[in-house]
Structures are given as C-alpha cells and as structure tokens.
Amino acid sequence: MTRKLTGAQIRQEFIDFFIHQAGHTFVPSSSLVPGGDQTLLFTNAGMVQFKDVFLGTDKRLYTRAVNSQKCMRVAGKHNDLDDVGRDDTHHTFFEMLGNWSFGDYYKKEAIAWAWELLTVVWGLPPQQLWATCFRDDIGDVPQDDEAAEAWRVQPGMDPSHVLFFGRKDNFWEMAETGPCGPCSEIHLDRGPKYCNRQGQPGHTCRVNGDCTRFLELWNLVFIQYNRRSPTELEPLLAKHVDTGMGLERIVSALQDVDSNYKTDLLSPMMDVIQRLTGHSDAERLANITPYRVITDHSRAAAFLIADGVVPGNVGRNYVCRMIIRRAARFGSKIGLNEPFLSAVADEVIAHYGDFYPELKRNRSIILDNLKREEIRFQRTVEGGVAKLENLLNQLKSQGERVLPGEEAFDLYATYGLPLEITRDIAREQNLEVDEAGFRLAMDQHRLVSGAGEAFGPLGGEEVDVYRVVMEDMQKRGLLGPQGVVNDPYHSLEVEGPVLALVKDGRSISNAKPGDRVEILLPETCFYVESGGQISDTGTITSAGKPEWEIQVVDMSKPAAGMVVHIGEVRSGQPKTGDQAIARVDAQRRRDIMRNHTATHLLHHELRLILGEHARQAGSLVAPDRLRFDFTHPEAVTTEQLERIEAGVNRNIQGNYRLNIAFKPLQQAITEGATALFGEKYGEIVRNITIGEPEPFSNELCGGTHVDETGDIGIFLITSEGSVAAGIRRIEAVTGRGAYELVQRRSRALKQVANLLVTAPEETPAKTQALLEELDNARKQIADMRSRLAASNFTLDLGNNVQNISGVHMYTGTVAGADADTLRQMTDLFRQQYPTKGVILLASESEGHPIFVTAITQDLVGSGFHAGELAKFVAQPLGGSGGGRPTLAQAGGKDASKLEEALASVPDWIQSKLGKKPL
C-alpha cells in the first residue's frame, strides 16, 4: 500500500505537493519565540505567524501558503509536559504541517487536495479514512453541509464514513471573540490490532472514541465567521483555510508503527541513548519512559537554543532550563551520570539540520549550553533531591499527601530543582505538590527581594486586565481597532486622554502620589524595548488643571496593540479621562539614538575587518553605552580593534544621511539588507541604509536613529571579550558617554603627570624610567640581604665548626635561602677551611628541603664525594641528589626530618675515615 518514506521525505512531499499541485508559497517556519506577541510563551501552532492576517491587521504578498512550523506546548493553556514520556504521542516540541488560504480557495479545494495527498500520493486506503464535519450541538450555527458534500464526492470515499460532531470536536475559535469557524478532521482507522482496549466489556472502537485504533490525522479549519459576542456571529467577507497535521503522527501512520518514538524522526535519538547506557533491547523497553523523555526533551532543547532561548531563570529561559534538567534527571535514572545530552542533541542536529539550518549554524552553542547546564545541575541536584526525599518521608510519616508550595520553591531557589522535577519525584511516591503555593511563594520572593527579573512571571498573566480595558475603550470609540498608536519616530511629545490607570493588576479611576501605576494612552511617542534598544523614560503630566505628574520609568507591550507606560505618581491625583501630555526624556533618547546608529556602523565595520562571518548575535542599545554581540571564533586583536574603532569614526566624520524606507521584506533582502536571524519580520519592513552613493550599511530595524552619522560625535570601544563559544562582545560609548570617558581618562592622566612632575605626553617614558629604577632598587635590596646573611654566617662559622677526627665540619639550616645563596656560603666556608673541610647546608623551599654540600679538594683523594653525601642525607627524606666530588646538591620531600639528616653527617664522615684513616 504505502511507499516507504523517511520522515524528512514525508515533510518535503507535503510541501512540494502544495507548491507544485496547488500553487502555494513555501513560508519557512517562524521562530519558537513568537515575535511581538507577549501573550504567548512559545509558538504553539502553525497559525501563530499568520494570526495578524486572520485578524485583518496584516497583509501578505501571497494568498496560499504551505509550511512546517516548529511548535512547543510546554506552558500555559496548552501544556503537554505531563504526558511526555508516559505515552507514545505527546511531545513538548513537534512539527505542524499546514496549508493556508488567505481569502483564496475554500472547502472544496482544501478537501480535494487533502484527499489526493493522503490516498494518491501517500497511498492510504480510502476505506480506512473517515471524515468529521460540524453540526452544532447548541443549534446556533448552521451545519457544515458544504464540507460534508465535498467529502462524499471524493474518489473512493465511503459516504457512511462522513460523520458529524459538535463544538468540542469540530468548531475552532481563536479566542472568546474574533475569527472562528467549523473544522473538518480526517481520521485513519488503523485496524483492530491498534486498539488498546481490546476485549474490554462495553468498548466499541469509533472515531473520536476512547481507544488508539482511530488516529486523527489532519484538521482542516474553515474560518468564515467573526465572533462579536458569545451569541453573535457575523460572516467574514474573506474566508480562510488553516490546516494542521502533526508531522510525527502522519509519519507514524505512513511508517506503520504504533509509537512516534519508533519513527525515524525519533528512533535515532533513542538508539544513541541505548549506546550510551549499553542497555540490551529488553532493558531499553523496560526503561522506555526515561528514553522517551530524554529524546523528546533533547530535541526541544536543541531547537530552543537554536532560536536563542538558552537556560535561565525566567519565562522561556526557565522552560529551557527545566526541560534540560528534567532530561538529565531521567538520564540519572538509567545510569547516565556524566553529561550526555549533547550526544543526543548532536543526533537531533544531524537529522533535522538540513531542513532547519539554524540547528547546524548554532551547533556548538547548543552543545555547549547543554553540557554547561547539566554540569550546573549536577553540582546542586544531589543536595536538592536528598532534601526533597527527607521532606517527602516526613510528609508520609505525618499521613500528609501534599508538599507545601514554599518547600517546593525553596528547593528551586536553593538547589535549582524546578517545580516540574519536584512534582515528578513526588508523584513517583504518590504525593502531590501545592503548585498554587509554589507560585505564591515565588511572587512573595519577588516582592521581598525586588528581583522582578530573576523570578518573573511565566508570561501572559497580566494581559487580561488590559484586554478588558482596551475592548471597553474600543467599544466607546476612544481607541482604534489597532489599539494604541505607537509612533516613536516623529515627535517626542504627544497629547491625549488617560484611557486607563492600572495599579497592582487592577484598573483604577484615580491615583495618588507615590502610587506605582501603569498608564494607557490612545497614542504614545515612547519607544518600547525591541531589537536591543531599551525603552524610553519621561513624564506624563496633566494638560490642564489640576496639575499632576507621573514619572515614566519603563514601557511594556504585553500584546499586539497594547502599549503601556509604567511609572510613579510624583504629584497630584491623575484620573482616567484627564487630558495628558506624554514627554520622552529627550536627552536620554538622543543618547540612545547615537548609540543605535553606532551599532549599525560597528556591524558594518566588523564584517569589513573580521569577515562576512561576523554577524550580529545580540545587542543592547542603552543611553550610556552600547553592547554588540557577534559571531567570531577568536579574540579580536588590539590592532583589529583599533582599525574597527577608526573605521566607525571615519564614517561618523563622513556625516552620512540615514535613509529610512518602508518596503516589502523580499525586496529589502534582494537589495542586500541584513535580516537578523530569529527575528520576526512583517511583509513590510523598515529598512535603514547609510552611505552614498552605494549604501555600506543596510539593515532591517525598527529602532530610532540620528539623522546624520556626524550626530554621533565620537565612538570609543571600551571592551572586547567572549560571551559564549564562538560569540564575542564589544562594548562602546558614543557622544556624551564618550566625552565623559575621555574627560575621566584625561583627568586621571593629568593627575599622573602631576605626580610624576612631567607633561602628560612624557608620562610613558617617565613611567618606564621609574619602573627600571624600581627594578634596580629591588635587585640591590636582594643583594644586600644575601650579603647580610653571609656576614652572619661568617660569624657563625667561627663558633660552630666541629672537629670530627681532624675534619672540619659545619652543618646548618639557612632560613629562606635558595640553592644559589647556599652555594655562595659553601665558598665562604672553603675560603676559611681550604683543607679537611666538609660543609652541608639545608634550607626549605615550599615545604621541600634542599641541601648543598661541599668538600675540600684534598678530601676527595681520601674517598670523600660531595655527591655521595648529598644522596646519603636526602634519601631518608624521600629525595635524591648528586653532583661533583667537591660540590653537590639534593632535594627531599619530607622537611620534618631535616634536623635528623644534618645530625647524620658526622657518622658519614666517620665511615669514610674508617675505611681510610687520614
């Protein structure tokens, strides 16, 4: 029946079918991080990047699109995390295939193409396929006969296989209001052997039933209404089609396997894990849950990091950290205790990197991040798990079943144990975690520590307040359908009525001095942080009487069309409805603009001097400095940095005009604009070019810029360093910041010159001379010290030389002396005792004894040998030595036996004399 196809081939055949058979445009997957939509933590469906098209606020150059979208369902309303690993079908990350009509074709075409692809191209038997259509169980919305009829006429379709279902299964809504419509699903009957409830009394296999025999393959959504209220639908003029087919699912069907993990999309990762554990096939099967979790989470983590979401404490970054740690813990359950996830992720990159090149491009970043996060987790996890086990044992002994939220939070804050792992471990012992309590403790921690950023919300919670306010304002005509107008480009001042004041997440009608409030105006000229440029600050004041003032300290854009000022009431009592003037802090903004334009010049210069590979990997544009991260494998040399700085300043002095144009994305790219990887762009982009007649800088950018590069003044690099493997960071200042830096440094230089009593230009030579002088002085001191020691030693020689049967012997330790000094001392000894003399001196260096011994020439003829003596004393101390007959040196290990060694010298002399008396 079906052809043997790989997962990658199935994905490609889907796309090719819609391109070649049906004239669709292929649209690459958008990032897992939804652009400009803070209500969503992750892209969770194919339609996310087309949402604005359905809402009518965005237009595309095409009306038919096909894509394979990267999706994550791991937080918020759609959270499949709990099921991942327990079954064969749920994933945190997955791919969604879809074809789209934006006011173009409709049900008849969509259904015919779906049928042709499944039955003709992929050869699924028509008699095993079923279709479901919409019949309203409430009775308000007409039955979808149009779709049902389209199904019945498909070649080979059994009319009795077209079924009707109600709102739960077959009606799709984006939100409580907005675009919606009936949907039609295609189900595959995989046959009785796939039923997981075989033989259970009362069970019947059926479409939308409760067993695994029928598989929902593909959902075709027909958007034909706009919902205005729970009871009010209006027909849309332009009707749309939005279809979704999970890639993993269709691949499992076409490869005829009963688990997504048995498809070639995921089995290679499972095999890597088996290789790492050395398990037999039976052992792999017995540990299937850890295998599935590690496979799923490694794939998700690789895709997340490729989209710039690295492990961290907040929001998306927290999710990345959590899934890596969860995978690491499941690894430890099957004996994988060393960092191993990068090996699994490398297989992900190998299998997915052709279709998703961002994986290959970011390979080393992905692998490094995984390894680092695993090591970080391993350092604390044992303590955390031990503490948790104790807590759980206590609970059980007290007959309790729920771990308090504060305890779970404490485990996270202290040991880095994410809530999800604590919950996993608790569940393994049939216990629960108070998750609401966890979130409460997290909020309290945030309040107490003021660390809003460290443990921020997981996203989207505060948006509802604004949504209610905005819808209310829109109904009353105070706000346009697009929401707040945000134009930071033309003016630094705007006037309008206060639409809403929000305090502590609640809408209020008036505020008083000291209140921290959020203010909604119909229009604002404040820039909202985006593309690395930080938000504007400023004031909002009353336009008339009574007077009041709000200091604006930050901006936020919780969702499309919502732009909110965040500030504190300085004076007076602002009320909703008051006419207000919003003013951006102009000086601060000009500083920011200088820094932003400078980043474009820097980007150009980096590519010119380091090469085309030096691409932007992140940036921060603040009033006092700019930071620019870029890909480059090694440190930038001082010489290169000087050339980069000089080049940027040359282009500042060139005083080029900035040309700002709005044009279609495709045109801008064709003309050579640099699009930032991972950034979401609309169809119409803002294109900034610098340089005449041919622009040397050409970027897509929504930031605010100076008019001419000369406005930047001067550009100075303050540092260059590494942020991650293969990523460098340059920090720099411009304009006022650069002037302040120069002033600070010049002041310091003047002070140095004053101290040196010279002119600033002479300070290097003068400093050099001073350093040489200092060096000489140090040498003299060392010399005098050794002379002093020698003279003390000479005194000591007079008193402490012993006579051993006619041999003059001196032994002693000289604290702090090195071997050189000791040798010089033995010379002094031999000057005083030119014949019949033996000397052994010891010292200690870093806990290790050293010896120098000398013997007069006449004794050598009598069988004395300095090297032999050195060995003789060093051996008991675990050391060895050697040298000439008259001078030798030795080292040992155990300084505690030094005195004993010195005391043994008379015996050695005696033994020599015994052999051959003098």
- Indicate the angle between helix axes 288-306 and 341-352, nearest 10 degrees: 60
Q: Between 211 and 288, whose beta carbon lies closer to Zn ion?
A: 211
Among 73, 213, 594, 607, binds Zn ion (CB under 5 A): 213
**Cβ distance to Zn ion smaller for residue 90 or 213:** 213
CB of 203 to Zn ion, least distance (A): 6
Which residue from 139, 226, 147, 220 is spatially nearest to 183, judged by alpha carbons? Answer: 220
Cβ 482 to Zn ion shortest distance, Å: 24
CB distance 315 to 343 below 8 Å:
no
**Stretch of 199-207, 365-373, 601-609, 665-673 contacting Zn ion, by CB under 5 A:** 199-207
Point out which span in 48-56, 202-210, 585-593, 646-654 binds Zn ion (CB under 5 A): 202-210
Q: Are 66 and 201 in contact (CB under 8 A)?
A: no
Contacts of 162 (CB under 8 A, 6+ apart): 130, 131, 132, 133, 148, 151, 152
Q: What is the DSSP letter of 706?
A: -
Residues 103, 224 contacting (CB under 8 angstroms): no
Which listed range, 40-48, 207-215, 372-380, 762-770, lies at the site for Zn ion (CB under 5 A)? 207-215
Radius of gyration of the chain (CA): 39
Q: Could you count the other beta carbons within 10 Å of the beta carbon of residue 795?
A: 10
The answer to the question of residue 195 lying near Zn ion (CB under 5 A) is: yes
Task: Using the rule CB under 5 A, give the single segment among 42-50, 180-188, 203-211, 789-797 that binds Zn ion.
Answer: 203-211
What does the per-residue mask of binding to Zn ion show for 219-258, with x meaning CB under 5 A?
----------------------------------------
The residue (of 675 and 748) whose beta carbon lies closer to Zn ion is 675
Shortest spacing between CB 329 and Zn ion, in angstroms: 35
Separation of first and last alpha carbons in the chain: 111
Q: Is 649 helix (H, G, I), strand (E, B) or coil?
A: helix
Q: How far is the CB of 193 from Zn ion (least distance, A)?
A: 10
Binding of Zn ion at residue 71 (CB under 5 A)?
Answer: no
Read off the tokens for 105: 């074709």
Do the Cβ atoms of 1 and 125 come closer than 8 Å? yes
- Considering beta carbons, is residue 99 or 698 the nearer one to Zn ion? 698
Tokens encoding 481: 């359908």
The nearer residue to Zn ion, 705 or 728, going by C-beta atoms, is 705
Find the shortest distance in angstroms from Cβ 230 to Zn ion: 36
User: 344: Cβ–Cβ under 8 A, 6 or more apart, which residues?
Assistant: 269, 272, 273, 276, 294, 295, 298
Nearer to Zn ion, 189 or 374 (CB): 189
Q: How far apart are CA 734 and CA 705, in angstroms?
A: 13
Kindly indicate which of the ranges 23-31, 54-62, 142-150, 212-220 contains the residues binding Zn ion, using the contact rule CB under 5 A.
Answer: 212-220
Looking at 115-123, 209-217, 361-369, 725-733, which segment touches Zn ion (CB under 5 A)? 209-217
Nearer to Zn ion, 356 or 527 (CB): 527
| Residue 390, H or E segment | helix 363-397
Least distance in angstroms from the C-beta of 619 to Zn ion: 8
Nearer of residues 205 and 306 to Zn ion, judged by Cβ = 205
195 vs 293, beta carbon nearer Zn ion: 195
Min. distance of Cβ 201 from Zn ion in angstroms? 12
CA 878 to chain centre: 53
User: In whole angstroms, how close is the CB of 202 to Zn ion at the nearest point?
Assistant: 11
Sign of CA pseudo-dihedral 630, 635, 636, 638: positive
Q: Select 195 or 294, whichever has its Cβ closest to Zn ion.
A: 195
Nearer to Zn ion, 308 or 331 (CB): 308
Q: How far apart are CA 543 and CA 579, in angstroms?
A: 5
Options 211, 233, 463, 828; binder of Zn ion; rule CB under 5 A = 211
Binding mask 104-143 for Zn ion (x = CB under 5 A): ----------------------------------------
Query: Diameter of the chain by CA atoms?
Result: 129
By C-beta, is 135 or 213 nearer to Zn ion? 213
Cis before 179 (ω within 30): no
| Helical pair 288-306 and 267-277, crossing angle rounded to 10 deg | 120
The nearest distance, CB 699 to Zn ion, in angstroms, is 6
Distance (Å) of CA 199 to CA 193, 210, 211, 215: 11, 14, 12, 19
**Shortest distance (Å) from residue 66 CB to Zn ion:** 32
Nearer to Zn ion, 377 or 526 (CB): 526
Instruction: Give me the residues paired with residue 516 across strands.
Output: 568
Q: Distances in Å between the alpha carbon of 650 and those of 49, 605, 719?
A: 41, 10, 20
Binders of Zn ion in range 420-479 (CB under 5 A): none
CA–CA separation, 107 and 112 (whole Å): 8
Task: Report, in Å, the least distance between residue 195 CB and Zn ion.
Answer: 3
CA distances 119 to 1, 115, 442, 818, Å, are 10, 6, 53, 90
Q: CB-wise, 673 or 909, nearer to Zn ion? A: 673
| The pair of three-digit structure tokens given for residue 370, joined into one six-digit string | 């995984």
Distance of CA 404 to the CA centre of its chain: 30
Q: How far is the CB of 331 from Zn ion (least distance, A)?
A: 35
Of 645, 627, 510, nearest to 577 by C-alpha is: 510
Extract the tokens encoding 83. Answer: 């099921």
Neighbours of 678 (CB within 10 A): 18
CB of 547 to Zn ion, least distance (A): 38
String marking each residue 837-866 x if it binds Zn ion according to CB under 5 A: ------------------------------
**Count of alpha carbons within 13 angstroms of residue 464, beta-carbon side:** 6
Closest separation between CB of residue 165 and Zn ion, Å? 18
Neighbouring CB atoms inside 10 A of 893's CB total 12
Contacts with Zn ion: how many residues (CB under 5 A)? 7
Give 567's strand partners. Answer: 517, 552
Considering beta carbons, is residue 213 or 871 the nearer one to Zn ion? Answer: 213
Q: Choose between 592 and 855: whose C-beta lies nearer to Zn ion.
A: 592
Q: Which of 701, 732, 869, 898 binds Zn ion (CB under 5 A)?
A: 701
DSSP secondary structure string, 881-892?
EEE-SSEEEEE-
Q: Cβ 214 to Zn ion, closest distance in Å? A: 8
* Minimum CB distance to Zn ion, residue 149 (Å): 29
Rule CB under 5 A: say whether 205 interacts with Zn ion: yes
Nearer to Zn ion, 344 or 626 (CB): 626
Query: In the complex, what is the shortest distance from the CB of residue 114 to Zn ion, in angstroms, rounded to a whole number?
Result: 25
Binding piece for Zn ion, criterion CB under 5 A, among 30-38, 192-200, 223-231, 519-527: 192-200
- DSSP letters of 420-473? HHHHHHHHHTT-EE-HHHHHHHHHHHHHHH--TTTT--SS-TTHHHHHHHHHHH
Question: Is 463 within 8 Å of 39 (Cβ atoms)?
Answer: yes
Nearer to Zn ion, 420 or 605 (CB): 605
3-state helix, strand, coil in the chain (%, to 5): 45, 25, 30
Shortest reach from residue 760's CB to Zn ion, in Å: 38
Q: What string marks each residue from 702 to 741 as x (binds Zn ion by CB under 5 A) or -?
A: -x--------------------------------------
Binding site for Zn ion (CB under 5 A): 195, 197, 205, 211, 213, 701, 703
